[in-house]
């Protein structure tokens, strides 16, 4: 009996020396995707990332729900970064519906989004640690994340999927005494993540393993369209919070962390520096935030847009620039919602980074791309 | 009627239990006891204190301590006790099981969590038993295209090789399973078996990830065996013997680590690599090759390999203690056996004793075992510690380390030993 596989799945036998490895979808080092790796001895000769195992049709679902009920499911692609995933959609919906957001709500959004960025990066860092066989670096971020998750729970009522941002502001005002608790927790959190340098980032074995592996040059980083920490680790000074400030980021002093090396180590270090920057932003926002006032504009039950129009908004998420394109046709539901996600764009660099690398470098290079499989498939 | 098992009936369950008990008793009476009696008639029974031991006499042991103690002492002098219980498998397995528990708790404390916590009321002390029961109860799945006899045999061979390694370790003066003149050479021979067993298991699984893991293990073990052997040569030169008991006895005044620290460091690093522990756990690197050469092993086959791994860990730590840290030598801390017990104690009108056969263990043996266990536990602690601190290294870095740096350092160690020998500081006519 003979059968032929679809062209994308057919694995060619090029040479007797070359072995094809299916890393994933059931593999401790792949996430919800498959990387088809061809190796010659210990060297990777070709690599074919195969995402799409967790496609859930979020964009199509958004066409059947109105602007408010879209919120809880559009944050599902990255539940650890749910505020940032929702941010461009909410900004776009506000522009379409013509809503002016109160000043205090903007600050609350910035605080929530920076806290969420830290929560996401801690999760990412935990997995980066265990990919390198460093189990302490898995447990420490996973535990210290709890500090910020508790803060988000106080703020929004939910530990992970917050559904906090709505067109017109945020769902609830901050609880009493939140500013003090937040400042204390964030200060402790910053002290804690600085200790990671001793056990992880300055570890000689880690440095010798990740330095000069998977180098993405500045030109290539721009040419492939990578964003976020991958782009900044390749020496491009690009951060949407500075370049295209949204909400109140133009009133805050945001520093962009850039590293020139473009290797796996730089890509793992930039998010860690970003977390400290987030702590700075949170402290500034807490100081400048109006102490009282409304945080939400009341909307009509089924708000409608004016006519056929479209809007594209993007924000800097934990992984890079995350855009949302909304087309409306004067109905309660959007005509089309398209999310332009950073994960998928960063993944494009993977085959070129892995070609010629050793098999032992595959997990560190793959995960240093700040790739989140669920977001890429959405 | 329960939802989980709708056809369950208590009466039938009890009946089935009773049936089982009935058949067990019937088979025992009809076959088991006659077989035991036949064996007892034909084997030669030992003579204890001028009295021939018979099966009927054996029943009186339960009541009379003056009879049971000589029997226990006679049993402890047998080879089977040495192989199975004290310096051999049982003792090593106990320490290995303790190692697994300590490793999990220690790593948990390092990582700000609690580790095993619920099983066994106090700090999860029965967790290991639970894990063992789980592994035994799991189904063993063999890959369809595996080479089944070799695949089955590999875990058993692994434990057997680890147990053979344990047999060479002298725990206390005179307490060693195999006291061979070429003991250290025997150890090297046994260590040489591990890569063969690993590659057999990996190849017979007929799967890609175990194959890569097996090749990595082969690379790692073969390239680190050379510095391992070279690093121990310095001690052999200074002692003039390959017998492990004599090497341990030669360190009564000072351990060799004082004079040969380079060799000790090289041996420790190669030991980590031979044991496939972090940072050298490439053959089991889960983010690259799932579980390496253990990927296709399931159920108790995996459990056996884990048992063998920890037996090997104990044996390597014990070898380090015997060769570099002085083995059983240490200040006498165990008090002498109370002489009243030998003569009998007056308890009011009654005199208890004297108990023939006491003391079961002499003072030197208890003291030696105590020091040996203390040193071994300390070495095991340092073997476990890197797991919480280091990430895994890469194959090319590993081979570079083994072939260039460690072999060079091992030769430096040999030259230090030669210098000490020719300068007359140590060896014949030297300090000892």
Given an 8 Å threshold on Cβ–Cβ distance, is B391 in contact with A133?
yes
Mean pLDDT of A267-286: 91
Q: Is the CB of residue B11 less than 8 Å away from at least one CB of chain A?
A: no
Q: Is the CB of residue A187 less than 8 Å away from at least one CB of chain B?
A: no
pLDDT bracket for residue A12 (50, 70, 90): low
Position A195 in a domain? yes
Measured in angstroms, the CA of B27 and the nearest CA of chain A are apart by 49
The residue count of chain A comes to 378
Task: State the pLDDT at residue B315.
Answer: 92
Task: State the pLDDT at residue B430.
Answer: 47
Given an 8 Å threshold on Cβ–Cβ distance, is A205 in contact with B387?
no
Write down the residue that tokens 């399973």 correspond to: B177
Per the structure, how many domains does chain A have? 1
Task: State the pLDDT at residue B266.
Answer: 92
Position A33 in a domain? no
Inter-chain contacts counted by CB atoms under 8 A, chains A and B? 80
Task: State the pLDDT at residue B312.
Answer: 92
Task: Record the pTM.
Answer: 0.82
Token pair for residue A315? 């924000």
Position A12 in a domain? no
How distant is the alpha carbon of residue B235 from its chain centre? 23
State which residues form the domain around A295: 58-346
Measured in angstroms, the CA of B98 and the nearest CA of chain A are apart by 21
Tens digits of per-residue pLDDT, B117-126?
887 777 778 8
Beta strands in B243-387 (DSSP E): 345-347, 350-352
Residues facing residue A338 across a β-bridge: A325
Phi, then psi, of B48 in degrees rounded to 5: -120, 120
What 8-state DSSP symbol labels residue A258? Answer: -
Position A135 in a domain? yes
3-state helix, strand, coil in chain A (%, to 5): 50, 15, 40
Nearest CB neighbour to A360, from listed B110, B390, B394:
B394
Position A238 in a domain? yes
Measured in angstroms, the CA of A251 and the nearest CA of chain B are apart by 39
- Closest residue in B to A199 (Cα) is B389
CB A378 within 8 A of CB A77: yes
Nearest CB neighbour to A139, from listed B113, B286, B396:
B113
Given an 8 Å threshold on Cβ–Cβ distance, is B290 in contact with A27?
yes
Task: State the pLDDT at residue A330.
Answer: 82
Task: State the pLDDT at residue A96.
Answer: 86
Task: State the pLDDT at residue A7.
Answer: 56
Position A365 in a domain? no
Tens digits of per-residue pLDDT, B396-423?
888 888 888 899 999 999 998 888 888 7
CA distances from B115 to A49, A103, B71, B111 (A): 36, 47, 43, 9
Contacts of B285 in chain A (CB under 8 A): 133, 360
Tens digits of per-residue pLDDT, A17-41?
778 888 878 888 887 888 888 888 7
Position A37 in a domain? no
Contacts of A134 in chain B (CB under 8 A): 390-392
Mean pLDDT of A70-76: 88
Task: State the pLDDT at residue A355.
Answer: 83
Nearest CB neighbour to A136, from listed B209, B282, B389:
B389
Tens digits of per-residue pLDDT, A183-216?
999 999 999 999 888 888 888 888 888 888 888 8
Interface test with chain B among A137, A188, A205, A210, by most B beta carbons within 10 Å:
A205
Position A45 in a domain? no
**Calpha distance B159→B309 (Å, rounded):** 8
Tens digits of per-residue pLDDT, B197-256?
999 998 888 888 888 888 888 888 888 888 998 988 888 888 888 888 888 888 888 888
**Calpha distance A148→A123 (Å, rounded):** 12
Given an 8 Å threshold on Cβ–Cβ distance, is A140 in contact with B111?
yes
**Calpha distance B305→A23 (Å, rounded):** 25
Nearest CB neighbour to A133, from listed B112, B281, B397:
B281
Token pair for residue B10? 């208590």
- CB proximity under 8 Å: A 23-52 to B: 27-29, 42
Rg over alpha carbons for chain A, rounded to the nearest Å, is 21
Tens digits of per-residue pLDDT, A302-334?
877 777 889 999 999 888 899 999 998 888 888
SS3 A311: strand
Tens digits of per-residue pLDDT, A106-147?
999 999 999 999 999 999 999 999 888 888 888 899 989 998
Task: State the pLDDT at residue A120.
Answer: 92
CATH number of the domain bearing residue A154: 1.10.645.10
Q: Where are the domains of chain B?
A: 82-333+363-422
Interface test with chain A among B215, B277, B287, by most A beta carbons within 10 Å:
B287
Closest CA to A76 of A54, A50, A99: A54
Interface test with chain A among B394, B396, B398, by most A beta carbons within 10 Å:
B394
Nearest CB neighbour to B286, from listed A28, A203, A361:
A28
Q: Is the CB of residue B23 less than 8 Å away from at least one CB of chain A?
A: no
In order, the DSSP letters of A23-84 are E-SSSTTT-SSEEEEEEETTEEEEEEEE--TT---HHHHGGGS-TTTTHHHHTGGGGGGHHH
Nearest CB neighbour to B390, from listed A28, A138, A203:
A203
Per-residue pLDDT of chain B (432 residues; tens, 9 = 90+): 455 666 778 888 899 899 999 999 999 999 988 888 888 777 777 776 677 777 667 666 667 766 777 777 777 888 888 888 888 888 888 898 889 988 888 888 888 888 888 877 777 788 888 888 888 888 888 888 888 888 989 999 999 999 899 989 898 888 888 888 888 899 999 998 999 999 999 888 888 888 888 888 888 888 888 899 898 888 888 888 888 888 888 888 888 888 888 999 999 999 998 888 888 888 887 777 888 888 888 888 898 998 899 999 999 999 999 999 888 888 888 777 777 777 777 777 776 666 666 777 788 888 888 999 999 999 999 999 888 888 888 888 888 888 888 999 999 999 988 888 887 766 654 455
Q: Is this complex scored with an ipTM above 0.95?
A: no
Given an 8 Å threshold on Cβ–Cβ distance, is B286 in contact with A143?
no
**Calpha distance A106→A289 (Å, rounded):** 9
Contacts of B387 in chain A (CB under 8 A): 135
């Amino acid at each position: 009996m003979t059968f032929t596989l679809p062209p994308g799945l057919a694995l060619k036998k090029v040479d007797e020396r070359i072995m094809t490895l299916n890393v994933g979808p059931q593999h401790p080092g792949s996430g919800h995707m498959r990387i088809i790796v061809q190796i010659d001895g210990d060297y990777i000769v070709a690599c074919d990332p195969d995402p799409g195992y967790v496609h859930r049709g979020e964009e199509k679902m958004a066409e059947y729900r109105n602007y408010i009920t879209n919120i809880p499911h559009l944050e599902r692609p990255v539940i650890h970064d749910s505020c940032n995933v929702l941010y461009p959609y909410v900004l776009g919906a506000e522009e379409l519906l013509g809503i002016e957001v109160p000043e205090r709500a903007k600050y609350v959004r910035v605080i929530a989004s920076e806290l969420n960025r830290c929560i996401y990066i801690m999760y990412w860092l935990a997995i980066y640690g265990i990919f390198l066989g460093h189990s302490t670096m898995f447990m420490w971020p996973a535990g210290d994340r709890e500090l910020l998750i508790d803060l988000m729970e106080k703020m929004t009522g939910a530990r992970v999927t917050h559904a906090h941002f709505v067109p017109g502001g945020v769902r609830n005002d901050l609880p009493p005494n939140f500013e003090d608790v937040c400042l204390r927790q964030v200060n402790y959190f910053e002290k804690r993540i600085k200790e990671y340098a001793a056990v992880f980032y300055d570890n000689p074995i880690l440095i010798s393993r990740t330095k000069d592996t998977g180098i993405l040059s500045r030109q290539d980083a721009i040419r492939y369209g990578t964003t976020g920490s991958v782009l900044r680790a390749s020496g491009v000074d690009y951060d949407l919070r500075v370049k295209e400030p949204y909400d109140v980021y133009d009133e805050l002093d945001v520093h962009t962390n850039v590293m020139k090396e473009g290797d796996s180590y730089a890509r793992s270090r930039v998010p860690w520096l970003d977390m400290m920057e987030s702590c700075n932003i949170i402290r500034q926002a807490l100081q400048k935030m109006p102490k009282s006032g409304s945080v939400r504009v009341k909307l009509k039950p089924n708000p409608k847009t004016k006519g056929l129009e479209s809007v594209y908004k993007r924000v800097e998420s934990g992984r890079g620039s995350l855009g949302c394109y909304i087309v409306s046709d004067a109905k309660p539901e959007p005509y089309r919602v398209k999310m332009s996600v950073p994960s998928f764009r960063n993944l494009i660099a993977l085959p070129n980074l892995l070609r010629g690398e050793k098999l032992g470098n595959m997990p560190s290079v793959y995960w240093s791309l700040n790739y989140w499989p669920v977001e890429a498939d959405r | 009627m329960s939802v989980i098992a709708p056809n369950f009936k208590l009466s039938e369950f009890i009946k089935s239990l009773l049936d089982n008990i009935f058949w067990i008793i019937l088979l025992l009476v009809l076959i088991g006891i006659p077989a035991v009696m036949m064996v007892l008639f034909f084997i030669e029974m030992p003579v204890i204190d001028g009295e021939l031991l018979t099966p009927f006499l054996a029943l009186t042991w339960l009541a009379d301590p003056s009879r049971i103690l000589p029997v226990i002492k006679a049993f402890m002098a047998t080879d089977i006790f040495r192989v199975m219980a004290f310096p051999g498998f049982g003792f090593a397995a106990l320490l290995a099981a303790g190692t697994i528990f300590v490793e999990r708790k220690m790593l948990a404390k390092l990582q700000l969590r609690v580790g095993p916590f619920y099983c066994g009321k106090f700090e999860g002390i029965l967790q290991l038993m639970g894990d063992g029961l789980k592994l035994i109860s799991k189904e063993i799945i063999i890959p369809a295209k595996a080479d089944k006899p070799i695949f089955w045999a590999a875990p058993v061979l692994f434990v057997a090789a680890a147990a053979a390694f344990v047999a060479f370790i002298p725990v206390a003066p005179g307490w060693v399973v195999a006291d061979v003149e070429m003991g250290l050479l025997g150890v090297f021979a046994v260590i040489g078996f591990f890569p063969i067993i690993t590659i057999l298991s990996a190849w017979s699984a007929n799967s890609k990830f175990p194959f890569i893991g097996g090749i990595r293990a082969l690379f790692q073990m073969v390239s680190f065996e050379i510095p391992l052997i070279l690093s121990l040569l310095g001690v052999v030169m200074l002692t003039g013997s390959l017998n492990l008991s004599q090497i341990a006895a030669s360190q009564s005044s000072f351990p060799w680590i004082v004079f040969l620290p380079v060799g000790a460091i090289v041996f420790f690093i190669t030991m980590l690599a031979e044991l496939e522990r972090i940072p050298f756990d490439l053959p089991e690197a889960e983010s690259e090759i799932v579980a390496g050469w253990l990927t296709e092993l399931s159920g108790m086959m995996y459990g056996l390999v884990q048992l063998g791994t920890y037996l090997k860990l104990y044996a390597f730590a014990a070898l380090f203690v015997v060769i570099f840290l002085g083995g059983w030598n240490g200040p006498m801390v165990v008090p002498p056996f109370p002489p009243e017990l030998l003569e009998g104690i007056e308890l009011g009108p009654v005199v208890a004793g004297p108990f023939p056969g006491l003391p079961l263990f002499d003072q030197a043996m208890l003291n030696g075992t105590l020091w040996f266990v203390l040193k071994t536990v300390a070495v095991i602690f340092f073997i476990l510690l890197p797991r919480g601190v280091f990430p895994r290294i890469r194959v090319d870095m590993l081979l570079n380390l083994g072939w260039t740096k460690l072999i060079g350092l091992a030769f430096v160690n040999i030259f230090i030993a030669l210098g000490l020998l020719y300068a007359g500081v140590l060896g014949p006519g030297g300090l000892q």
